């Protein structure tokens, strides 16, 4: 009897463990399947964990903000670059660089009828010219550009793949060069920025502040103030021009992505912008080309400037020159 009982408990032990082992295998198999499914899904390089806060936010017209790089508290605002126009041994050699970042003021969870009513950002951009070819290498000028804006994502279809992407409203944008006396330059703007995007037929890798669309067209219109010093300067040199004749009352920009070649070098982008509602004789164009380098966290950067207004100090001086360097984001 005792042997039968022992045998019974031994059989029960193995039966339970066998069942548990089967459950364990099943559990491990389920986890493996889930892991495979997760890995098979396209990954957002800016958010590999695919962390979308809530179902409500996912269904929101502003869902592009959530789980994306733009939803991080601190992110890139304008293109960041470090470039050079001549080798340092040349007396005219200049380094031109720009650092630009934006900070999300509030968590993106203030919703009324699925809309984020206050997508507020504070941003800071600094552009500098550094005369590395001169003795002691002085800085020629730095332009300081803080701003505050509301960035509303719309994503409304206009026709086909052409969409109204975002509307940006800024109650205050300031720019100055930090100099004094006759070299002092500053102005303030309130602007509305409207962006239209041409959606790509294929999923594009969002990296280094590149577009997620195939192309983007934007119109920026502003109301300017605080530029009386520049008008006074022009008057002092006998010019009847005004500051806004050079800088315009708005800006038009076009960006196109991945249009030249494919393969490992397929990620590239061309940006073109020009001021609008200016004196037609004061032409100004900026061309920027970026080529993402394979397995790198930065891109090859080319810039060509033609016209007036490259910096605040030399806003009334015509120039055309190119720079080569690297661009990066964070």
Could you report the per-residue pLDDT of 250-268, keeping only the tens digit for each?
999 999 999 999 888 899 9
Share of the chain above pLDDT 90, in %: 58
Query: Quick one: which of 195, 204, 196 has its CA closest to 162?
Result: 196
Mean pLDDT of 129-150: 93
Give pLDDT, residue 51.
47
pLDDT digits 0-9 by tens, 71-86:
568 889 999 999 999 8
Local structure of 233: helix, strand or coil = helix
Q: Do residues 150 and 119 make contact, with C-beta atoms less than 8 angstroms apart?
A: yes
- Which residues neighbour 267 within 8 Å (Cβ) at sequence distance 6 or greater? 205, 207, 208, 210, 257, 258, 291, 292, 299
Distance between CA atoms of residues 162 and 198, nearest Å: 5
Distance between CA atoms of residues 144 and 298, nearest Å: 24
* Residue found by looking up tokens 């930090």 in the block: 178
Which one has a higher pLDDT value, 256 or 92?
Answer: 256
Give pLDDT, residue 184.
93
Query: Over 90: is that where the pLDDT of 134 sits?
Result: no
Distance between CA atoms of residues 229 and 185, nearest Å: 7
Q: Do residues 297 and 222 make contact, with C-beta atoms less than 8 angstroms apart?
A: no
Query: Over 70: is that where the pLDDT of 43 sits?
Result: no
């Amino acid at each position: 009897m005792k042997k039968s009982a022992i045998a019974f408990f031994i059989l029960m032990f193995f039966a339970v463990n066998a069942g548990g082992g089967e459950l364990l295998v099943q559990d491990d198999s389920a986890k493996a399947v889930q892991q495979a499914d997760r890995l098979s899904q396209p990954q957002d390089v800016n958010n590999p964990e695919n962390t979308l806060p809530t179902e409500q936010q996912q269904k929101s017209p502003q869902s592009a903000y959530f789980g994306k790089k733009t939803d991080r508290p601190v992110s890139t605002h304008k293109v960041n670059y470090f470039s050079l126009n001549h080798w340092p041994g040349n007396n005219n050699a200049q380094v031109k660089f720009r650092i630009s970042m934006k900070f999300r003021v509030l968590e993106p969870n203030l919703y009324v009828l699925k809309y984020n009513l206050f997508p507020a950002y504070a941003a800071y951009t600094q552009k500098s010219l550094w005369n590395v070819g001169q003795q002691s290498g002085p800085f020629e000028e730095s332009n300081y550009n803080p701003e505050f804006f509301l960035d509303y994502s719309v994503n409304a279809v206009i026709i086909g793949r052409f969409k109204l992407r975002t509307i940006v409203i800024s109650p205050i944008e300031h720019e100055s060069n930090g100099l004094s006396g006759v070299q002092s330059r500053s102005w303030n703007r309130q602007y509305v920025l409207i962006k239209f995007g041409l959606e790509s037929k294929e999923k594009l890798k969002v990296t280094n502040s590149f577009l997620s669309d195939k192309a983007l067209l934007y119109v920026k219109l502003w109301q300017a103030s605080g530029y009386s010093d520049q008008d006074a300067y022009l008057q002092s040199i006998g010019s009847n021009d005004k500051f806004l004749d050079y800088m315009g009352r708005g800006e038009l920009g076009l960006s196109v992505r991945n249009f030249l070649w494919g393969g490992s070098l397929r990620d590239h982008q061309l940006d073109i912008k020009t001021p609008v509602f200016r004196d037609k004789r004061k032409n100004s164009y900026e061309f920027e080309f970026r080529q993402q380098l394979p397995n790198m966290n930065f891109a090859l950067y080319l810039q060509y400037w033609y016209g007036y207004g490259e910096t605040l100090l030399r806003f009334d001086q015509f120039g055309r020159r190119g720079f080569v360097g690297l661009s990066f984001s964070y």
